[in-house]
Chains A and B, each alone.
Chain A
Amino acid sequence: MAEYDKPLPRPEIPDLTQPFWDAAKRHELVLPRCLRCNQYFWYPREICPDCLQTEWEWAPASGRGRLYSFTVVRQPLLPQFADDVPYAYALVQLDEGPRMVTNIVDCEIPDGLEVDMLVEATYDDVSDDYTLVKFRPA
């Protein structure tokens, strides 16, 4: 198998998001959830974007959601993705509320894609350190 040459996640604040990547490695999805207002939010940041409190936790998520929207990539920004076209760059609306950037895999591109279709998390172990959370039709 060729070495994975696509960009791995590079966190701006590694300590902040390490629990997310640790969970992904275990093939689990966790999301930040505010301890004051109980809202899940995405992306992880130092404060809850709703109530601006600093107290939040990593809470387990179902890994289920809907395909909010997608675009079929023909011309990637980064040349390492050129061999993968066409592929789906997508927004998934998780059942818990937050919306994530991801790819939809294990389906025909573009014919198998439909806005609002049910999707579930699937885990792509791209390196020893990183597992990408992707989604497939549920």
Chain B
Amino acid sequence: MSIRGEAAVVGFHELPTQKDYAGRSALGLMAEASHGAIRDAGLRKEDIDGLIAPEGINSITVAEYMRIQPHWTTSVTAHGASGATSVATASAVVAAGMAKYVLCVFGESRPRGSSRLRGENTARSPGPPTRASEWELPYGPVIAANGGYGLIKQRYMYRYGTTQEQFAKCAVDERFNAAANPNAVWYQQPVTMDDVLNSRYTNDPLHLLESVMPCSGAAAVIVTTAERAKALPNPPVYVLGASGPATRHDVIWQEDDVTVTPVVLSAPAALQMAQYSPRDIQFAEFYDCYTILVMMTLEDAGICPKGEIGGFYESTDTTYKGEFPINTDGGQIGAGQPGLAGGFRHVVEGVRQVMGRGDQRQVEKHDLCLVNG
């Protein structure tokens, strides 16, 4: 048994990603996005009987805030992959008959400058001892996830000879796409190769413009069975395959080979369920907290051979106008990372494009999209 074609996304709504939403809470933004998605799907709140919320926010709290009665609910704890995982899980839940209409919702409301505050707070009141307090903090780690991705990129460049220009091209293409996305934090603000290469190192070899900016925002989608989807107004976006392997490390120094991602496991499994090959994929919406990650995961999904993604970007227009569009809404690098709604944006944009609602950045071929969380 598989969920191939059993479930579909039938509605979505996304609030614009902004540097902050002053005076708004994550729950408030999530409720607004949910309302939009429910209406977009042609449903009423009372129809929603399944609810998936982000880790860190109990899904019951979300249900209470919106007065939804879930028949099935959970919060997903898969870090950046939570958004994609939520839709895969919702598909299985509706296919199994445990709920009829599942709302997947993610959101964040983040005060400006909170990364710096986090460092100061850690210094002032370090909290209970952890693995990090013994084996990492004494060596002065980098702020946010930049450290781990700097280590990955350094090793990857050494192993495969990928150039800084090739990484920069990835960021430039994503910012081009974001420039055409009114919901992107960098709307109408494209960058050049020189802009990326001359941006400061957050930590070598990572440039600032190859990295996500933490933002605020929210998005929601509705998942139901393929059968029920037929009666609803939007063209259904069928879930053809899904697979959820995760990393087996929590900290990067526990990974045997940092140049390989779990996508070597998830993509073949999802494609096999869908009965397609990587060559059939028309466009990709891939998790991109940093250029190095979207580039490694595209390789691991079979879009190009391992180690050759630098050359692929150099020779391929990956904008929404190009021969192989990637992160057509700008991805997180171009459109921003509103917490776990950041990873979720890849799902939302994939749905938007497949429905043919990409407006000025609509891709030409939009029947088959591969999403990675």
Contacts and interface: CB of A to CB of B under 8 A. Distances in A.
Interface stretch (A30-38, A52-60, A100-108): A100-108
Interface string A85-121: 0110101000000011111000000100001100000
Contacts of B126: 7, 10
Interface bin, chain B = 35 or more
A11 to B, nearest CB: 5
A75 B202 contact: yes
A74 B155 contact: no
Interface in A63-85: 68-81, 84
Nearest to A76: B140
A124 B135 CA distance: 15
Label chain A's interface by main secondary structure.
mixed
B158 A100 contact: no
Interface string B122-156: 11001011110111111111111011001110110
B137 A78 contact: yes
A72 B203 contact: yes
A8 B134 CA distance: 8
B119 interface: yes
Contacts of B136: 101
Given A71-B204, A132-B139, A91 B151 contact: yes
A8 B120 contact: no
Nearest to A84: B140
A7 B118 CA distance: 15
B125 to A, nearest CB: 12
Contact of A116 (B131, B133, B158, B203): B158
Nearest to B203: A71
A15 interface: no
B204 A110 contact: yes
B134 A10 contact: yes
B130 A12 contact: yes
A68 B258 CA distance: 10
Contacts, number: 130
Contacts of B253: 91, 99-101
Nearest to A92: B253
A22 to B, nearest CB: 14
Contact of B119 (A10, A76, A86, A130): A76
Given A69-B155, A75-B143, A91-B253, A9 B133 contact: yes
Contacts of B139: 89, 101-103, 132, 134
Nearest to A87: B140
A111 to B, nearest CB: 11
B200 interface: yes
A88 B350 CA distance: 39
A76 B142 contact: yes
Contacts of B276: none
B129 A12 contact: yes
Contacts of B155: 68-69, 115
B140 A74 contact: no
A6 B133 contact: no
Contact of A8 (B138, B200, B252, B254): B138
Contacts of B65: none
A12 B134 contact: yes
Nearest to B204: A72
Given A10-B126, A115-B154, A77 B138 contact: no
A134 B139 CA distance: 9
A71 B130 contact: no
A69 to B, nearest CB: 4
A12 B130 CA distance: 5
A11 B201 contact: no
A17 interface: yes
A10 B151 contact: no
A74 B134 contact: no
A130 B138 CA distance: 10
Nearest to B148: A71
Interface of B: 118-120, 122-123, 126, 128-131, 133-144, 146-147, 150-152, 154-155, 158, 200-206, 252-254, 258
Given A43-B135, A87-B140, 10 more contacts: A9-B138, A11-B134, A12-B133, A12-B134, A72-B203, A73-B147, A77-B137, A78-B123, A80-B140, A91-B151
12 contacts: A10-B129, A10-B134, A43-B134, A71-B154, A73-B147, A74-B202, A76-B142, A77-B141, A78-B123, A79-B123, A102-B139, A115-B155
